[in-house]
Amino acid sequence: MPAERTDMDLLDRLPAVRGRMEKDVTLGRFTWFKVGGPAEVLFRPADEDDLAEFLSACPPDVPLTLIGNASNMLIRDGGIDGVVIRLGAAFSEIKQDVSLIHAGAGAADINVARRARDGGLAGLEFLSGIPGTIGGAVFMNAGAYGSEMANVFVSCRAVDRSGDRHELSSDDLAFGYRRSALDPGWIVTSVTLHGSLAEAAEITRRLDEIQSDRDASQPVRTPTGGSTFKNPEGDKAWKLIDAAGCRGLRRGGAVVSEQHCNFLINDADASAADLEGLGEEVRRRVKAHSGVTLEWEIRRVGNAGNKAIGEVIS
């Protein structure tokens, strides 16, 4: 059991940092769903050294939560206790070394794909279809359009809860479908990926194909969190959701996308409770219809809060 928290203001208990540290920061503005309560404290480290020094001196009973672009995350209405760590511009640099791409963990997946294109490096185009950061992509072995991180991963650097740094290989991470063996308490700070040299025109063509497919098949212009549920083995989540009659299902301001029913949309000032409640209703109906229990792909974090949940409207 962690040590008992004191009544002292959390900021007073935390070590000095070179980066930015603030109290009671609303997190909804950082998330793709545009919902979420406040962080008790939000810390944006200046660099890896600043992060490691903070972690080594942070009291062990203080909860830590990492967020990136929060594209596949639902932050509950009551916010997040403890310290929320967000890797910003200092962790967004992308460099190329022949067939290798070295990217800070805060770099957007699409920017990694574009940097590879500019350097004539193929094999990373699928990243343009994943709305997140490269550090998060490693943690969940993100994939799309026929490829996934496990196919291009070389190594990553990570800092553990004690501030110690580690260099991890593909074997260390033991990638599986939408998962890795990375300790959830460790923070990836940089990633090295590999590709193959190719003509920039061919890479551009593939990127354009992916963008066109996303525009046609996914609700990319609305507040959403990407794929809501993992595909069960041998099946597609969207097909099960559609067969259970959930396309267009609504709860409060949240709705199951008509365009792609494995996406939930914040359609009209939804609360996080609306979105999570709608997702649970979808899971219930799919289970009743097909016997399949859908597993959340979206990461749900934080406290429930006290916002009322809208009624389900078929």
- The contacts of residue 20 (CB under 8 Å, 6+ apart) are 42, 43, 44
pLDDT single digits (tens) 167-178 = 999 999 999 999
Going by CATH, does the domain composed of 10-89 fall within 3.30.43.10?
yes
Going by CATH, does the domain composed of 91-217 fall within 3.30.465.10?
yes
End-to-end CA distance of the chain: 44
In this predicted structure, what is the pLDDT of residue 69? 86
pLDDT digit of tens for each residue in the chain (314 aa)? 344 444 579 999 999 999 999 999 999 999 999 999 999 999 999 999 999 999 999 999 999 999 988 989 999 999 999 999 999 999 999 999 999 999 999 999 999 999 999 999 999 999 999 989 999 999 999 999 999 999 999 999 999 999 999 999 999 999 999 999 999 999 999 999 999 999 999 999 999 999 999 999 999 889 999 899 999 999 999 999 999 999 999 999 999 999 999 999 999 899 999 999 999 999 999 999 999 999 999 999 999 977 666 667 76
HSE-up of residue 236 (Cα within 13 Å, Cβ side): 8
pLDDT single digits (tens) 16-44 = 999 999 999 999 999 999 999 999 999 99
Measured CA to CA, the distance from residue 43 to residue 117 in angstroms comes to 33
In this predicted structure, what is the pLDDT of residue 2? 41
Residues tagged active-site: 178, 227, 297
Measured CA to CA, the distance from residue 221 to residue 85 in angstroms comes to 27
> What tokens appear for 225 in the block?
């969190």
Measured CA to CA, the distance from residue 68 to residue 139 in angstroms comes to 12
In this predicted structure, what is the pLDDT of residue 6? 47
Measured CA to CA, the distance from residue 204 to residue 196 in angstroms comes to 14
Q: Confirm if 36 and 27 have CB atoms less than 8 A apart.
A: yes
In this predicted structure, what is the pLDDT of residue 305? 78
The CATH number fitting domain 237-313, selected from 3.90.1210.10, 3.90.78.10, 3.40.50.2300, 3.30.360.10: 3.90.78.10
Q: Confirm if 66 and 133 have CB atoms less than 8 A apart.
A: no
Characterize the bridge pairing of strands 299-301 and 73-75.
parallel
User: Which stretches does DSSP call E strand in the chain?
Assistant: 20-26, 38-44, 64-67, 73-75, 80-86, 94-97, 100-104, 121-122, 143-144, 147-148, 153-159, 165-169, 187-194, 196-197, 250-251, 254-256, 264-266, 299-301, 312-313
Q: Where are the domains of the chain?
A: 10-89, 91-217, 237-313
Measured CA to CA, the distance from residue 40 to residue 121 in angstroms comes to 42
In this predicted structure, what is the pLDDT of residue 195? 97
